[in-house]
Amino acid sequence: MPGMLYRLNRILEWMIISTAVILGITYSSPHFADEVDQVRAYTRNIEFDYVSWMLNAAEVKVQQSAVGVPGYLSQESSKIVVSDYLHVTQLIIQTEDALKRFNSRFVPITDNKLHSVYIR
């Protein structure tokens, strides 16, 4: 008789644990309250994570301060570097614009095979 009670006790424990796990898994899935939550379910992996961004920024600042980057350039040198960077960026933008204007003068190619006959 004690062996049978032991088996019944084990079966009952197994059923209780299984029921708790099933209920826990079932209720852990998100229930969407409105349409915004349903849309956010698709964009969760690309949403901006402010906390990790702040932690990464703090880590970079600690690393830079450890190697002495903030005191690497004087204030005047920093201004010159930023000014040069902005100047180069402006040149790149102007060159890209000139290239777009140059390419817009030509008729777009609609049939590649016909226009590449002379090359083949």
Q: What is the tens place of the pLDDT at every residue in 54-94?
A: 999 999 988 888 877 667 778 898 899 999 999 999 999 99
Query: DSSP letter string over 32-79?
Result: --SHHHHHHHHHGGGS--HHHHHHHHHHHHHHHHHHT-TTTS-HHHHH
Residue 21 lies inside a defined structural domain of this protein: yes
Phi and psi at residue 30, in whole multiples of 5°? -70, 140
- Expressed as residue numbers, the domain containing 9 is 1-34
Residue 106 lies inside a defined structural domain of this protein: no
**pLDDT single digits (tens) 103-116:** 777 767 777 777 77
| pLDDT on residue 103 | 78
Residue 57 lies inside a defined structural domain of this protein: no
Residue 41 or 27, more confident? 41
Residue 21 or 107, more confident? 21
Residue 114 lies inside a defined structural domain of this protein: no
Residue 39 or 27, more confident? 39
Provide the domain count of the chain: 1
In 3D space, the residue among 39, 38, 58, 40 whose CA is nearest the CA of residue 48 turns out to be 40
| pLDDT on residue 114 | 77
Residue 70 lies inside a defined structural domain of this protein: no
Q: Which helix (H) or strand (E) holds 102?
A: helix 75-104
Residue 119 lies inside a defined structural domain of this protein: no
Residue 116 lies inside a defined structural domain of this protein: no
Residue 64 lies inside a defined structural domain of this protein: no
Whether residue 120 is predicted with pLDDT greater than 70 in this model: the reply is no
Flag the least confident range among 7-11, 15-19, 87-91. Answer: 7-11
